[in-house]
Amino acid sequence: MRPLWKGFVTFGLVSVPVKLYAATQPKSISFTLTHKGCGHPVQYRKFCEVCEKEITQDDILKSFEFAPGQFVGFTEEELREIPKLKAKQIEISEFIDPEEIDPIYFKKSYYLAPGEGGEKPYALLLKAMLDSNRAAMARVVLSTKENIAAIRVYGKNTLSLSTIYYPDEIKQPEALDLFPDRITEKELSMAKLLIDSLTSPFEPKKYQDNFRETLKGYIQRKIADEKFEAPPEPVKDNLIDLTETLRLSLEKIKGEKAKPAMTGS
């Protein structure tokens, strides 16, 4: 695997060189939108409705809508000037009991591996966290965005980093009407009995994406049943214009050469 990020984990005066790797790989099947007429992928062009014209990336600002229809825009230079954490540093602020983090807070997980020369301090941090049953809370900049993250021991010899939501990003369930007026003891007893009968150890390999596997089968059958021809190559508008202009120019020159020379009277 290629690392997504290289930097340092810091806590106190200790600095640990690390590499960050993706811990998950979504395998959902994605579709490409194509034109029914020719089968070529369609493009989405950037269009301004007010100016009624297509625009380029250089004409675009990242803007915030502070009132309906009113935007304040930022250039890339202005965004880079906003103070943030050091880009290559995972800054540990405290250690906590890992059981205190509700799973609803977790976003995306990564593996942390020792960087060059970081094997010993990495092993020391991992062993100390494992023996004390602690997770670390940290801040890190990933893809220009500052994140809070939890560093935990995964298995026995790996550190994982999971970005987590900020508290104000978690919706609270108080407004939901969750409970009926009354649950009888008999109903509760039977529900517990059913849960006990269905209880087993967690084995992730038992679970698979049934829809994805079914969809794969449909795709293979459709490929086998249909004859496919490569869609025509898209023709560039500017190429058409240039070719046509050259053709007209040549015809004009030929026409001028074919005209009889003007003689004086």
- Find the domain containing 88 and state its range: 5-26+82-168
Task: Say if 237 falls within a structural domain.
Answer: no
**Tokens representing residue 236 in the block:** 């560039």
| CATH code of the domain covering residue 10 | 2.40.290.10
pTM above 0.85, yes or no: no
CB contact at 8 A, 161 and 140? yes
The residues with which 6 forms a beta bridge, in sequence order, are 19
Tens of pLDDT, residue by residue over 33-83, are 999 888 889 988 898 988 989 999 889 999 999 899 899 999 888 888 887
Tens of pLDDT, residue by residue over 86-144, are 778 999 999 999 999 999 999 999 999 999 999 999 999 999 999 999 999 999 998 87
How many whole angstroms separate alpha carbon 183 and alpha carbon 91?
48
Task: Say if 223 falls within a structural domain.
Answer: no
**Tokens representing residue 193 in the block:** 């009995």
As for how many domains the chain has, the answer is 1
